[in-house]
Amino acid sequence: MSGPQMLSPLPDGTPVLDIDALIDDPEVRVIVCCGSGGVGKTTTAASLGIRAAERGRRVCVMTIDPARRLAQSMGLTELDNTPRAVNDVDTSNGGSLDAMMLDMKRTFDEIVEAQSDPERAQQILDNPFYQALSSSFAGTQEYMAMEKLGQLRAAAEATDTWNLIIVDTPPSRSALDFLDAPKRLGSFLDGRLMKLLSAPARGAGKFGAKVMNAGMSMVTGTLTKLIGAQVLKDLQTFVASFDALFGGFRQRAEATYAQLQAPDTRFLVVAAPERDALREASYFVERLAGENMPLAGLILNRVQEVALPQLTTEAAVAAADHLDEAHEHELTAGMLRLHADRVLNGQRQRRLAQRFSAAHPHVPVAAAPALAGDVHDLDGLREVAAALAAQH
């Protein structure tokens, strides 16, 4: 809407996130979009991808769980871990756009396969413990997103295909889950129990045999009681073969994590103007600072646009009441109440944004307006990106 004055969704003095400067910067080769579930990370990643491509970058977007129609519009009909060209992108500036959907289990399977001969790999892939680890362990999806990012980055460097990779992150309840995943998986797979369980298969290792036996017999005794001897054997087989493949998984996980600290990587925190989402964004911003990971800024999605804030909630409600009492102009009265709600909602969102900016005064912010409908085509994505970029 142009013409009437708008209520700025952001408090005065908030630094503005310059989206175009970010996506045009040749030094920036990876952008990671983080945030709690349901805030529009996928849409943000995809819209930045198309805008960057049409401005001349050669982009690969990795999405995690896109809405069906959005996926279709980007040509993502198969969940097969392979980046494919998105059609109908304007390439006249020399850019291109590829997109892929992450299949976490397949990514894990591929890592196992790459580490071993087919027979041994199959043995691991068939093990029920591996299947649980690769499909339902909390953190596997996050970790596999990082592994995949590493693969894409390596491919980009080797073949000079892409010069910007944009990553969507899994829809976890907390944005921090993404950063915590490698440590969680690493310390779990390298934990003392795993060492104990794998010990019989590979000798005493660095533990004393005595300690091992005492600990071992108690653990196995309890586990046998709970789950039965066969299961315990399955478990030991899994642990032993997994350990033989990966040696210290922790080191691998640490290296995977460290790539997020690379100087060419930027984080975007995505949030909706809701209390919980902004609280998560706050935690995340603090954590990034602690880890020396560069934050580009906050994207505030689905912000209620408020035109004509001078017509306040109170005035609009009073006017609507006036019309209703006179039993006339029912349509206008309804519209006035609608406006009253919008102003109220806009102000509430503005207060929440204010609270965030008060705590993080140096974090640049870009706001995307709430759209009437869902975004499920390339034009919709272009519109979102244009709105984000227009604020500068």
Partner 1 sequence: MSPSSPASRPRSGATRGGDWPRVRLHVVSGKGGTGKTTVAAAFALALASGGRRVLLMEVEGRQGIAQLFDTPPLPYEERLVAVAPDGGEVFALAVDPEAALLEYLEMFYNMRRAGSALRKLGAIDFATTIAPGVRDVLLTGKAIEAVKRGERAGKPAYDAIVMDAPPTGRIARFLNVSSEVAGLAKVGPIKSQSDSVMAVIRSPRTAVHLVTLLEEMPVQETLDGIQELHASRLPVGAVIVNMMRGPRLSPDGIAAALNGTLDFDEVKAGVEAAGLPRRLNPTTVSKVLMAEATEHAQRIELERVERARLDATDQPIYEMPEMSGGIDLGALYAMSRMLREQGAV
Between 115 and 134, how does the x/- string for binding to partner 1 read (CB under 8 A)?
-------------xx-xxx-
Contact (Cβ atoms closer than 8 angstroms) between residue 176 and residue 283: yes
Q: Does 275 bind partner 1 (CB under 8 A)?
A: yes
Residues 356-385 that bind partner 1 (CB under 8 A): 372-374, 376
Query: How far is the C-alpha of 59 from the C-alpha of 54, rounded, in Å?
Result: 10
Beta pairing, strands 96-101 & 84-85: antiparallel
List the interface residues with partner 1, window 309-328 (CB under 8 A): 310-311, 315, 318-320, 322-323, 326, 328
C-alpha to C-alpha distance for 126 and 90, rounded to whole angstroms: 45
Pairing of strands 6-7, 306-307: antiparallel
Q: How far apart are the first and last CA of the chain?
A: 17
Tokens representing 69 are 């129609």
Query: From the CB of 226, what's the least distance to partner 1, in Å?
Result: 6
Rounded CA separation 88/101 (Å): 19
Q: Which amino acid, residue 149?
A: L
**89 versus 269: smaller Cβ distance to partner 1:** 269
Smallest distance, Å, CB 313 to partner 1?
10
CA distance 185 to 148: 16
- Give least dist CB 144 to partner 1, A: 15
Q: Compute the least distance from the CB of residue 301 to partner 1, in Å.
A: 11
Q: Residues in contact with partner 1, total (CB under 8 A)?
A: 74
Which amino acid is located at 378 in the chain?
L
> Counting contacts by CB under 8 A, is residue 339 touching partner 1?
yes
How many separate helices (H) and strands (E) can be counted in the chain?
A: 16, 10
Task: Establish if 240 lies at the interface with partner 1 (CB under 8 A).
Answer: no
Stretch that binds partner 1, among 34-42, 80-88, 200-208, 289-297 (CB under 8 A): 34-42
d(Cα 217, Cα 200) in Å, to the nearest integer?
12
Q: Residues 263, 28: contact at Cβ < 8 Å?
A: no
| 211 binds partner 1, rule: CB under 8 A | no
Task: Output DSSP code: residue 137.
Answer: S
Q: Coil, strand, or helix at residue 234?
A: helix
Tokens of 233: 């054997």
Q: Which two tokens stand for residue 97?
A: 């756009």
Q: CB 173 → partner 1: shortest distance, Å?
A: 5
Specify the residue, 97 or 278, whose C-beta has the smaller distance to partner 1. 278
- Nearest to partner 1 of 211, 255 (CB atom): 211
Residue number with CB closer to partner 1 (25 or 188): 188
Selected binder of partner 1 within 16, 85, 193, 359 (CB under 8 A): 193
State which of residues 15, 21, 26, 68 lies at the interface with partner 1 (CB under 8 A).
68
Considering only residues 10, 34, 166, 196, which one is a binding residue for partner 1 as defined by CB under 8 A? 196
Q: Which residue has the tokens 């020396």?
A: 292
User: Binding marks (x or -) toward partner 1, 75..114, rule CB under 8 A?
Assistant: ----------------------------------------
Nearest to 32 by CA among 162, 180, 178, 141: 178
Binder among 223, 244, 245, 289 for partner 1 (CB under 8 A): 223
55 interacts with partner 1 by CB under 8 A: no
The interface with partner 1 within residues 282-311 (CB under 8 A) comprises: 307-308, 310-311
Comparison of 152 and 333: residue with beta carbon closer to partner 1: 333
State the nearest-atom distance from the C-beta of 83 to partner 1, in Å.
Answer: 23
* CA atoms of 350 and 261, how far apart (whole Å): 32
Query: Which C-beta is closer to partner 1: that of 94 or that of 128?
Result: 128
